[in-house]
Amino acid sequence: MLDYLSLEADLDEEERLIRDTAREFVADRLQPEIGDHFENGTFPTDLIPEMGEMGFYAPNLEGYGSPGVSETAYGLLMQELEACDSGVRSMASVQGALVMYPIHAYGSEAQKEEWLPALGEGEAVGCFGLTEPEHGSDPAGMETDAERDGDEFVLNGSKTWITNSPIADVAVVWARDRSSGEGEGKSESTDESENPVRGFLVETDRDGVTTDEIDEKLSMRASVTGTVDLNDVRIPEENVLPGVSGMKGPLSCLTQARYGIAWGAVGAARDCFEVALEYAGDREQFGGPIARFQLQQEKLAEMATQITLGQLLAFRLAELKERGDLRPQQVSMAKRNNVRMARDVARTAREMLGGNGITTDYSPMRHMANMETVYTYEGTHDIHTLVLGQDLTGIPAFE
Q: Which is nearer to ligand FAD, 49 or 136 (CB)?
A: 136
Tell me which of 114, 274, 378, 399 is the catalytic residue. 378
- Contact between 373 and ligand FAD by CB under 6 A: the answer reads yes
> Could you tell me the smallest distance in angstroms from the CB atom of residue 128 to ligand FAD?
5
388 CB neighbour count, 10 Å cutoff: 16
Active site (annotated) includes residue 33: no
DSSP assignment, residue 240? B
Piece in contact with ligand FAD (CB under 6 A), picked from 76-84, 333-341, 347-355, 378-386: 378-386
Site for ligand FAD in 141-200 (CB under 6 A): 161-163
Nearest to 339 by CA among 276, 222, 257, 278: 257
User: Which member of 72, 111, 131, 204 binds ligand FAD (CB under 6 A)?
Assistant: 131
396 near ligand FAD (CB under 6 A): no
Q: How far is the CB of 136 from ligand FAD (least distance, A)?
A: 2
Find the angle CA(8)-CA(330)-CA(269) to the nearest 5 degrees: 45
Question: Measured between alpha carbons, how far is 246 from 370 in angstroms, rounded to an integer?
Answer: 31
Name the segment binding ligand FAD (CB under 6 A); options: 72-80, 124-132, 234-242, 330-338. 124-132
Q: Which stretch binds ligand FAD (CB under 6 A): 129-137, 185-193, 280-288, 294-302?
A: 129-137
Residue closest to ligand FAD (Cβ): 136
Nearer to ligand FAD, 137 or 187 (CB): 137
Largest Cα separation within the chain, whole Å, is 83
49 binds ligand FAD (CB under 6 A): no
Q: How far is the CB of 129 from ligand FAD (least distance, A)?
A: 6
Element (H, E) at 84: helix 71-84
How many C-beta atoms lie closer than 10 Å to residue 210's C-beta? 15
220 binds ligand FAD (CB under 6 A): yes
Q: Tell me whether strands 225-236 and 197-203 are parallel, antiparallel or unpaired.
A: unpaired
Q: Strands 62-63 and 197-203: what pairing?
A: unpaired
Site for ligand FAD (CB under 6 A): which residue of 383, 388, 389, 390? 383
Q: 76 and 22 in contact (C-beta within 8 Å)?
A: yes
Query: Long-range contacts of range 214-219, CB-CB < 8 Å, 24 or more positions apart?
Result: 214/160, 214/161, 215/41, 217/41, 217/373, 218/369, 218/372, 219/369, 219/370, 219/371, 219/372, 219/373
In this structure, the strands spanning 126-129 and 170-177 are parallel
Q: Which of 60, 66, 204, 225 is the binder for ligand FAD (CB under 6 A)?
A: 225
Q: Is 74 in the site for ligand FAD (CB under 6 A)?
A: no
Binding site for ligand FAD (CB under 6 A): 94, 128-131, 136-137, 161-163, 220, 225, 373, 376-378, 380, 382-383, 386, 398
Active-site residues, by number, are 378
